Structure 1
């Protein structure tokens, strides 16, 4: 009888110490977040552009999904915005880009993590990897890049659009390598 009580006590203690395998659901707060790119033209002129409309969430099983409205890219020059929508992103065919991955609970702990994720852009899917920093601020999870993520436009079949933009604007060059940066604020759902 004593052995049974000891066994049940150990079993109960063990069950109480097991960690949850689910993740608290989080929703992306667009107002506090930013997603930006750097466009470099003529080999030395760089300008920051940013997306104004995006959404995202992390569900209870740890699935992260972010959707960016490509026609919301703001360059501060309206004609350039229109040209990028039409000739680069071809928003009539590809209105959004989707970023998604399955996160492990450790990926949302405070610290630096290497995350692999899928990007669906311009009809092409690619797996990318980034080092991110996760920290908490005012009951929010904040995720930011440790260093800018460099995207090669050729990976997503965007080079023809870049060449078209270069020719329309009569530029010497527009760089195919595009640095991306983000700060994402997630609130508990």
Structure 2
């Protein structure tokens, strides 16, 4: 079961997109971790953990926590014994990983891939290294499912729980419990609502709302000018130089290159920053709005 946890961590890391610093959160209601045991040579059982949590950070680091007290064996007294003797009353097991997500980030909605995964499970002072394959499916633009491609087998000796298994055998008067457990995982991760641009640090979703104040005059489609010029590719462009739009001479002669810094100054006070330009909008008064709308433009008008 510890191995299963590791597999979960691997899955999480796969989800992040390198071009956009985005965090992802495990959806516990859609995820499932299970392991199997065999007793008396012929009696097979499937157990699971019902309380999982985790996330993938913008830099691709994965951390999954498994609430060990949520182990479900379908028998209350056995759950209690697992918690006391096998897990030694440890609160959680932690799975950590860090991955190169370049291959998986290319997946379109409905596409799948198989990726190699490595992770480390930490449980009661024992660290178990796992190397396996994971099946990854892009469910939507904002969700990814990761599952074990094959069963993963975990040694109770490697996991440091042999003594606990011995105690279970004694208490239940069993002649034997297998010391290798097959583990499977189905993990679903959802993109967090707050997407942060890697360059500006702004909240892209919040910036989209701020941009509604600009839409009366500006569009983000290339070449689509309105009352104001198209803002497609504005980051890195020279002020007053977009083809097909007649700018004021003050903008044309400003020599400004639109960067996050120069846009910040301009959006705070358009008239004061470049006197004589024809932009009627008085400016954004909140620093947070400026940072966020620049993040939105950075993301929306790339290329």
More strand by share: 1
Deviations 1:117-169 (A, max 9, x none): 01102320121112101001244100000011111010121001001101110
Note the residue ranges of structure 2 that are not aligned, 5 or more in a row: 1-16, 106-111, 193-303
**CA separation of 1:103/1:23 partners in 2, compared to 1, >3 Å: closer, same or farther?**
farther
Alpha-carbon distance, 1:71 to partner: 0.8
Structure-to-structure mapping, 1:9-158, within 5 angstroms: 20=18, 24-91=22-89, 94-106=90-102, 108-109=104-105, 110-138=112-140, 139-158=142-161
Alpha-carbon distance, 1:21 to partner: 5.1
The RMSD of aligned alpha carbons is 1.6
Note the residue ranges of structure 1 that are not aligned, 5 or more in a row: 1-18
Deviations 1:97-122 (A, max 9, x none): 11110011236344001101011023
The answer to which of 21-30 and 160-169 deviates more is 21-30
Total equivalences in the alignment:
169
Partner of 1:15: none
- Bigger-Rg structure (1/2): 2
CA contact (8 A) 1:22 1:105 kept: no
Distance in 2 (CA, whole Å) between partners of 1:59 and 1:169 is: 43
After the TM superposition, which parts of structure 1 deviate over 3 Å for at least 4 consecutive aligned residues? Answer: 19-23, 107-110
Larger relative CO (CA 8 A, sep 6+): 1 or 2? Answer: 1
3-state DSSP class of the match of 2:157? Answer: helix
Deviations 1:67-124 (A, max 9, x none): 0011100111001100111111111xx2111111001123634400110101102320
Distance in 2 (CA, whole Å) between partners of 1:184 and 1:89 is: 23
Distance in 2 (CA, whole Å) between partners of 1:150 and 1:23 is: 34
Match of 1:174 among 177, 180, 183: 177
CA contact (8 A) 2:18 2:102 kept: no
